[in-house]
Amino acid sequence: MATIVLAHGAWSAAWAWKKMRPLFRAAGDEFFSPTYTGLGQREHLARPDIDLSTHIQDVVGVLEFEDLKDVVLIGHSYGGMVATGVVDKARERIAKVIYLDAFAPKDGQSLFDLVGPKATANMQAGAKEEGDGSSIPINPMPPDTSPEDQAWAMPRRRPQPLKTFEQKIRLESKAPPPPRHYIYATKNGPGDVFRQFGERAKNETGWSYHEIDASHNPHITSPDVLMALLTRIMAS
């Protein structure tokens, strides 16, 4: 039994983890999946000034108001940026962090710093072409996502606030980080931006490295496989 808190990915929200909820319940785990400000069911709160700090505080607020302790924090994709900030602000509540095919920034890095200039320019251009320039248009799902899952997920995805990718994370805690696990999705293909973090986890003290035979959204495409891996990690 574990207390699990999710930092979800960009353009997404708590709804995207629908397939995982019954699996966590069956295992006796308590699963909290806060949706970030401006996304999912909280899209009505979207505004141009939402940044990475806003989303970090969304998750920290759940930890504090629910008084959660010994938490297994899962950061998926962009959620790795959020999870890193959450650990910095609430280290005493976190037992371990699982980066699920996620960004793992160091102090002073933004998501744009980590994806490189070409991807950054493409997303910034997309933000200017659609809407008022304050949000990044919806990203497509991995190509192996089933038609049924595409039909379910795509209408629920929402533009991502631009400043969440622009803001550089500032890490202030002097406490040692909790045990960190990295899950790399092996079906992402060549040129995958997440490979760099898997390599870091292989070579840096304090990390454990794992692989999953799935593309970037295993909570949608391979929930049972993901649950089995998470169970092993949480038991370690």
Domain ranges of the chain: 3-235
* Percent above pLDDT 70 for the chain: 99
d(CA 201, CA 183): 9
**Rg over CA atoms, the chain:** 17
- The dotted CATH code for 3-235 is 3.40.50.1820
SS3 content of the chain, % helix, strand, coil (to 5): 45, 15, 40
In the three-class reduction of DSSP (H, G, I as helix; E, B as strand; rest coil), residue 180 is classed as strand
Residue 191 has pLDDT above 70, yes or no: no
Structure-model confidence comparison of residues 191 and 3, the more confident one: 3
Q: What is the largest CA-CA distance in the chain?
A: 47
Q: Are 211 and 181 in contact (CB under 8 A)?
A: no
User: Which of 12, 77, 110, 215 is flagged as catalytic?
Assistant: 77
Tell me the average pLDDT across 155-181. 97
d(CA 199, CA 184): 9
Q: Is 146 a catalytic residue?
A: no
Place 9 in a pLDDT band, splitting at 50, 70 and 90.
Answer: very high
Provide the whole-model pTM: 0.97
H/E run at residue 162:
helix 162-166
